[in-house]
Amino acid sequence: MDFMTWYNHLGKPSWTPAPGTIGLIWQVLYVIILLSFGFVFYKAFRGGIPWVVALPFIINLLANILFMPIFAGLRNLPLAAADILIVLATIIWMMLVVWPSYWWIALAQLPYLVWVSIATVLQLIITVRNR
């Protein structure tokens, strides 16, 4: 069964955004991620901030990249739920550790935090409904 057929058959809440809407949201967020994460990695490589500040950005990026292979490839809902919880937790961690050095980078993560909070609730509901 192809991914969209499988996805369309999942039990989802009525407020689930359409796949096209989800894609559009991520297009905007990827620009924010590219610019803000790129800035943090640049500063860490140049010694402008300690690597401990960049660590949650690295973990977040890896967890974010792994979500779709877990969700769509493996179709493992519990593992996808665990992964998105890591994404959410690391966004909060990122915001806290970068604030003292670059508060504007922390604030730039707010749209990412809002969307991932919604997506986390959605993923947890989907996971429970499709046990």
DSSP label of 18? P
Confidence of residue 88 (pLDDT cuts 50, 70, 90): very high
CB 76 within 8 A of CB 70: yes
Residue 15: its H or E element: none
pTM: 0.96
Token code pair at residue 6: 């499988």
Q: What is the pLDDT of residue 21?
A: 97
Confidence label for 121 from pLDDT (cuts 50, 70 and 90): very high
Q: Any idea where the domains of the chain sit in the sequence?
A: 29-129
Contact assessment for residue 54 and residue 41, using Cβ atoms and an 8 Å cutoff = yes
Over the Cα atoms of the chain, what is R_g? 16
pLDDT of residue 123: 98
Cβ-contact 41, 57 below 8 angstroms: yes
Are the CB atoms for 53 and 101 separated by under 8 Å? yes
